[in-house]
């Protein structure tokens, strides 16, 4: 077997989770709408989407807290229709962590193992192992209110992993942490996931978080799966305007397809040269479409560059973000394109200022033409 392939690329590989045509309705309104999805052992899988798109409902069905209205869920090849939550090899870590305030960190982690009547010496060994994994050895005797938010998050993770579930479901696991701690904890979470080999499914509305931790991301909207792909593919090859716009910053220009070969071109208004990009779907001549290009793929210059994709405009606004500068350039009435330039050296003089006439340019493969 070619071990450079990821599990989802291997024909016939057995998924840990198979979601087959699942719809969940509440009062006749679908919260999850005809979703089919495979998640493979050892994946760190992210369900991403705006509030109300159905990601928590999908996760609650994996845990067994909700039943599909239509369709089936298989875990390890077994239909979960009649399997209650406590008999699934699944654990769920809630956003609130739900730690027991009167129990020490040690006893919180041991709780589920004691309830399973595991022998005392094995409980002790397992709790020590979990404390080490989550770097909490020093805090074992403290109560939850005597540790920081990030440490509480690690206790919840240790407790959820103690019973060695095959699948751990994490509902907005870092939602209670501030930005810096959140970023550090994302890397810890990935390390812990890799060292245990447990399959993680995370629900988040934070696209940066999904992109940082996940092997694959499912982008949802109104109960439907819009795209399931690796973070890089989702960013570089979004399959729709919705996904392009939801992940990262993007410039969107609407127009009509004016050529499909050898490159796809979009005409966008009187007197302007068409823009060229890669086709991001099935496009026919004359169809309405949207050109999508990330700000960092656009170059800015004072003189006209020798390239097909170029447009002249006026600098409207400049944003200085420390590591990069963002230019908003008006290229026509009401049409503003954003480009981003990295700040490589400290104290470098800005090359452009407000009201400057500039050229924006990009290569033929920098942008995508997506069906509207």
Inter-axis angle of helices 179-196 and 120-133, to 10 degrees?
Answer: 130
**Shortest approach of ligand ATP to residue 211 CB, angstroms?**
17
- Closer residue to ligand ATP (CB): 35 or 113: 35
Residue 56 engages ligand ATP in binding (rule: CB under 6 A): yes
Residue 207 as a binder of ligand ATP (CB under 6 A): the answer is no
CA 326, 331, 337, 339: dihedral to nearest 10 degrees?
A: -40
The token pair that represents 202 in the structure block: 């995370």
Among 18, 19, 45, 57, binds ligand ATP (CB under 6 A): 57
Residue 136 CB, shortest distance to ligand ATP, in Å, is: 28
CB of 29 to ligand ATP, least distance (A): 7
Site for ligand ATP in 15-54 (CB under 6 A): 26, 31, 49, 51-54
Q: Which is nearer to ligand ATP, 172 or 265 (CB)?
A: 172
Is residue 55 within the footprint of ligand ATP (CB under 6 A)? yes
Q: Is 290 in the site for ligand ATP (CB under 6 A)?
A: no
Closest to ligand ATP by CB, 67 vs 288, is 67
Query: Mapped to the 3 state alphabet, what secondary structure does the chain carry?
Result: CCCCCCHHHCCCCCCCEEEEEEEEEECCEEEEEEEEEEECCCCEEEEECCCCCCHHHHHHHHHCCCCCCEEEEEECCEECCCCCHHHCCEEEECCCCCCCCCCCHHHHHHHHHHHCCCCHHHHHHHHHHHHHHCCCHHHCCCCHHHCCHHHHHHHHHHHHHHCCCCEEEEECCCCCCCHHHHHHHHHHHHHHHHHHCCEEEEEECCHHHHHHHCCEEEEEECCEEEEEECHHHHHHCCCCHHHHHHCCCCEEEEEEEEECCCCEEEECCCCCCCEEEEECCCCCCCCEEEEEECHHHCEEECCCCCCCEEEEEEEEEEEECCCEEEEEEEEECCEEEEEEEECCCCCCCCCCCCCCEEEEEECCCCCEEEEC
Please report how close the Cβ of residue 27 comes to ligand ATP at its closest, in angstroms: 6
- In whole angstroms, the minimum distance from the beta carbon of 44 to ligand ATP comes to 19
Q: Show contacts with ligand ATP in window 175-194 (CB under 6 A).
A: none
Quote the least distance from Cβ 78 to ligand ATP, whole Å: 24
- Kindly write out the interface string for residues 72-111 of this chain, putting x where it contacts ligand ATP by CB under 6 A and - elsewhere: ----------------------------------------
Considering beta carbons, is residue 32 or 339 the nearer one to ligand ATP? 32
The answer to whether residues 297 and 251 touch, using CB atoms and an 8 Å cutoff, is no
Q: How far is the CB of 98 from ligand ATP (least distance, A)?
A: 16
The CB-of-66 to ligand ATP minimum distance in angstroms stands at 8
For ligand ATP, the closer of residues 223 and 238 by Cβ is: 223
Q: For residues 52 and 197, which CB has a smaller minimum distance to ligand ATP in the complex?
A: 52
Spatial distance between the Cα atoms of 137 and 134, rounded to a whole number of angstroms: 8
- Judged by beta carbon, residue 20 or residue 25, the one nearer ligand ATP is 25
Per CB under 6 A, does 338 bind ligand ATP? no
CB closer to ligand ATP out of 21 and 52: 52
Binding-site size for ligand ATP (CB under 6 A) equals: 11
User: At closest approach, how far in Å is the CB of 156 from ligand ATP?
Assistant: 18
- Residue 123 tokens, joined: 């409980």
Q: Tell me the C-alpha distance between 183 and 21, whole Å.
A: 35
Kindly state the smallest distance separating residue 183's Cβ from ligand ATP, in Å: 20
Nearer to ligand ATP, 32 or 162 (CB): 32
> What are the residues binding ligand ATP (CB under 6 A)?
26, 31, 49, 51-57, 205
């Amino acid at each position: 077997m070619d071990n450079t392939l990821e599990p989802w690329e291997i024909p016939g590989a057995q998924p840990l989770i198979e979601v087959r045509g699942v719809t969940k309705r509440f009062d006749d309104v679908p919260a999850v709408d005809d979703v089919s999805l495979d998640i493979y052992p050892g994946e760190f899988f992210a369900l991403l989407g705006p509030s109300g798109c159905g990601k928590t409902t999908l996760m609650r069905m994996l845990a067994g807290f909700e039943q599909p209205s239509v369709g089936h869920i298989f875990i390890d090849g077994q239909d979960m229709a009649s399997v209650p939550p406590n008999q699934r090899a699944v654990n769920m870590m809630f956003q609130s962590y739900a730690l027991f305030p009167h129990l020490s960190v040690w006893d919180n982690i041991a709780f589920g193992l004691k309830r399973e009547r595991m022998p005392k010496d094995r409980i002790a060994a397992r709790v020590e192992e979990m404390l080490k994994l989550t770097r909490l050895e020093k805090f074992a005797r403290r109560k939850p209110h005597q540790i920081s938010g990030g440490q509480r998050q690690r206790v919840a993770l240790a407790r959820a992993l103690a019973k060695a579930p095959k699948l751990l479901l994490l509902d907005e696991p870092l939602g209670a942490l501030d930005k810096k701690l959140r970023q550090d904890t994302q890397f810890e979470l990935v390390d812990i996931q890799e060292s245990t080999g447990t399959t993680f499914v995370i629900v988040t509305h934070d696209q940066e978080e999904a992109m940082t931790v996940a092997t694959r991301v499912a982008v949802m909207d109104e109960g439907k799966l819009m795209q399931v792909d690796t973070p890089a593919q989702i960013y570089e090859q979004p399959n729709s305007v919705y996904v392009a716009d939801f992940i990262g910053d993007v410039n969107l220009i609407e127009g009509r397809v004016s050529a499909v070969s050898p490159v796809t071109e979009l005409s966008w208004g009187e007197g302007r040269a068409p823009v060229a990009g890669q086709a991001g779907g099935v496009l026919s001549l004359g169809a309405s479409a949207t050109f999508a290009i990330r700000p960092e793929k656009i170059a800015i210059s004072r003189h006209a560059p020798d390239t097909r994709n170029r447009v002249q405009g006026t600098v409207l606004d400049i944003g200085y973000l420390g590591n990069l500068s963002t230019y908003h350039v008006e290229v026509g009435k009401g049409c503003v394109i954003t480009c981003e330039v990295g700040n490589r050296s400290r104290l470098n003089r800005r090359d452009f200022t407000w009201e400057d006439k500039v050229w924006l340019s990009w290569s033929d493969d920098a942008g995508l033409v997506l069906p509207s």
